[in-house]
């Protein structure tokens, strides 16, 4: 293993995201620099692939490519969604070893630290990690447990000083660098797992202050993000092809649990365990059309779950970006199989989730005690903030307030490095 000296001054910012992670570095008073993580790429998918053929571990785009190419092995995604859950300590077998999901998170963080060290020429010992406003909704104990688990993972991989900053506040600190005058801003960070909001007073004169708590007027957050949109779209458009809502003998629907789990990024890998497979096998009697059941079994036995979720996600992004209907490619399951995704589906299926997200933004502004006319701007960050139906819903709620699109994938990490600058030696 390469020997890299440690750096004890200056701080690393790590945005450990549900879907993507980014790392940034700032020296006191200096500009934050996003560090290249995969080639020149400044963010990488939060994905780990345990290759069973070569017994090697792959990360990021490389992990996804290995999985999608059909290499034998296990893919781990949406690891952050397990923080605060009892599943975190559950062991799973990879390459003949029993490891917990907590260990897998530490493996991923160790890789981020090592890649940062390679870019910097030395291994940083201080880190500011991002955290959503709520890791877990309405459960302060599990929420605190989630942060503790992430803290322990950071210590386990060699960081000596670990602190936390709210992700939307970090995004605000990054945005502040580009402001010419004092502004009241609603910062919206819509990621893969959570939607986070903060109303904050930003401005060039305020940047130098070490303690910014007086500038934070309110925060709010809800556990809804892009992976929930993928789940919903999968349930509505894809899972019926495997038997979801299918009426079997006596007009009874097939029990739906397997479809929910198969549509949920962080639960997919459990469906491949022998017990889950035999439970799915037993569902055959609940089907009138046994071909649908055969399809479900093929998906489980050939472990196509992540691949299908990936196709749903890609179709969601295409449909949103092009504002045009598209098809979800399911040819991996069966030659020629696909599911339509129309712009009206995107809007309609996601309406309830988006309404809850927008309500959370409204709650934040209300708690800040502001009228909409007092907001100077809404600043958008996080991959899901680009979702067209979300932007439309937000603009309807906050009519007349200017929306500014920021750095969707790097803003939080940059802001984390800024919040670490001045932490002291």
Which structure tokens are listed for 81? 């969604």
Residues near ligand ATP (CB under 6 A), total: 23
Helix (H) or strand (E) holding 138: none
Stretch that binds Mg ion, among 94-102, 189-197, 271-279, 287-295 (CB under 5 A): 189-197
**CB of residue 190 to Mg ion, shortest distance in Å:** 8
Partner from ligand ATP, Mg ion, none contacting 386, C-beta within 5 to 8 A by type: ligand ATP
Residue pair 85/23 in contact by the 8 Å Cβ criterion: no
Nearer to ligand ATP, 104 or 184 (CB): 104
DSSP labels, 63-79? HHHHHHTT-SEEEEE-G
Taking CB within 5 to 8 Å according to partner kind, which of Mg ion, ligand ATP, none is near residue 194?
ligand ATP
Task: Report how far residue 61's alpha carbon sits from residue 58's, in angstroms, rounded to the nearest whole number.
Answer: 9
Nearest distance from C-beta of residue 43 to Mg ion, angstroms: 10
Burial class from Cβ neighbours inside 10 Å (0-12, 13-18, 19+) for residue 114 reads: middle
Question: For ligand ATP, which residue of 87, 317, 327, 403 counts as binding (CB under 6 A)?
Answer: 317
Give 207-224 as a 3 state SS string: CCCCCCHHHEEEEEEECC
In the list 13, 17, 73, 420, the residue contacting Mg ion (rule: CB under 5 A) is 17
CA separation, residue 101 to residues 11, 78, 250, 303 (Å): 27, 11, 41, 19
Residue corresponding to tokens 């605000």: 172
Question: Which of 176, 311, 313, 407 is in the footprint of ligand ATP by CB under 6 A?
Answer: 313
Among 191, 225, 243, 305, binds Mg ion (CB under 5 A): 191
Which of the residues 173 through 202 are near ligand ATP (CB under 6 A)?
A: 191-194
20, 66, 220, 391: which one contacts ligand ATP (CB under 6 A)?
20
Q: Which does 383 bind (CB under 5 to 8 A by kind): ligand ATP, Mg ion, none?
A: ligand ATP
- Which listed option, ligand ATP, Mg ion, none, makes contact with residue 387 (CB within 5 to 8 Å by class)? ligand ATP
Is residue 219 involved in binding ligand ATP (CB under 6 A)? Answer: no
Contacts of 102 (CB under 8 A, 6+ apart): 88, 89, 149, 152, 153
- Kindly state whether residue 382 participates in binding ligand ATP, applying the rule CB under 6 A: yes
Residue nearest to ligand ATP (CB): 226
Determine the residue with CB nearest Mg ion. Answer: 191
Contact at 8 Å (CB) between 332 and 307? yes
Q: Indicate whether 386 belongs to the interface with ligand ATP (CB under 6 A).
A: yes
Contact flag: residue 17 with ligand ATP (CB under 6 A)? yes
Place of tokens 């809502």: 245
Produce one character per residue of 176-205: b if its CB has 16 or more CB atoms within 10 Å, e if not.
beebeeebbbbbbbbbbbbbbbbbbbbeee
- The CA–CA distances, whole Å, from 327 to 47, 60, 345, 390 equal 25, 26, 12, 21
- Please, which residue, 281 or 321, has the CB nearer to ligand ATP? 321
The β-bridge relationship of strands 11-16 and 20-26 is antiparallel
Least Cβ distance, residue 24 to Mg ion (angstroms): 13
Note the residues at the interface with ligand ATP (CB under 6 A). Answer: 17-20, 80, 167, 191-194, 225-227, 313, 317, 320-321, 382-384, 386-387, 409
Note the residues at the interface with Mg ion (CB under 5 A). Answer: 17, 191
């Amino acid at each position: 293993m390469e020997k890299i000296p440690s750096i004890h001054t200056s701080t690393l910012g790590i945005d450990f995201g549900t879907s993507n992670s980014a790392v940034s570095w700032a020296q006191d008073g200096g500009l934050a620099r996003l560090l290249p993580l995969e080639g020149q790429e400044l963010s990488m998918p939060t994905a780990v692939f345990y290759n069973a053929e070569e017994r090697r571990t792959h990360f990021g785009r490389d992990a996804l490519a290995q999985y999608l190419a059909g290499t034998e092995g296990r893919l781990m995604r949406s690891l952050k969604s397990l923080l605060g859950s009892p599943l975190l300590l559950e062991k799973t077998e990879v390459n003949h070893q029993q490891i917990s999901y907590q260990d897998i998170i530490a493996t991923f963080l160790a890789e981020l630290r090592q890649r940062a060290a390679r870019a910097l020429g030395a291994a940083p010992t201080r880190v500011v990690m991002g955290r959503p406003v709520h890791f877990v909704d309405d459960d302060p104990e599990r929420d605190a447990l989630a942060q503790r688990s992430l803290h322990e993972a950071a210590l386990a991989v060699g960081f000596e000083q670990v602190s936390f900053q709210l992700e939307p506040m970090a995004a605000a600190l990054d945005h502040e660098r580009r402001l010419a005058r004092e502004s009241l801003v609603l910062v919206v960070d819509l990621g893969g797992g959570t939607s986070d909001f903060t109303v904050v007073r930003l401005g060039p004169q305020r940047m130098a202050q070490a303690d910014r708590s007086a500038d934070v007027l309110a925060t709010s957050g809800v556990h809804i993000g892009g992976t929930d949109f993928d789940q919903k779209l999968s349930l509505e458009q894809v899972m019926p092809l495997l038997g979801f809502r299918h009426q079997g003998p006596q007009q009874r629907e097939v029990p739906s649990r397997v479809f929910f789990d198969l549509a949920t990024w962080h639960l997919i890998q459990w469906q491949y365990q022998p017990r889950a497979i035999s439970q799915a096998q037993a569902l055959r009697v609940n089907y009138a059309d046994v071909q649908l059941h055969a399809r479900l079994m093929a998906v489980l036995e050939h472990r196509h779950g992540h691949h299908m979720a990936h196709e749903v996600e890609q179709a969601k992004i295409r449909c949103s970006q092009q504002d045009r209907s598209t098809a979800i490619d399911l040819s991996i399951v069966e030659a020629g199989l696909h599911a339509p995704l129309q712009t009206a589906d995107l809007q309609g299926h996601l309406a309830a989730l988006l309404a809850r997200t927008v309500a959370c933004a409204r709650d934040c502004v209300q708690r800040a005690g502001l009228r909409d006319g007092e907001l100077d701007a809404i600043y958008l960050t996080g991959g899901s903030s680009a979702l067209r139906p979300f932007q439309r819903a937000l603009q309807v709620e906050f009519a007349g307030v200017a929306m500014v699109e920021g750095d969707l994938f790097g803003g939080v990490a940059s802001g984390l490095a800024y919040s670490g600058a001045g932490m002291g030696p």
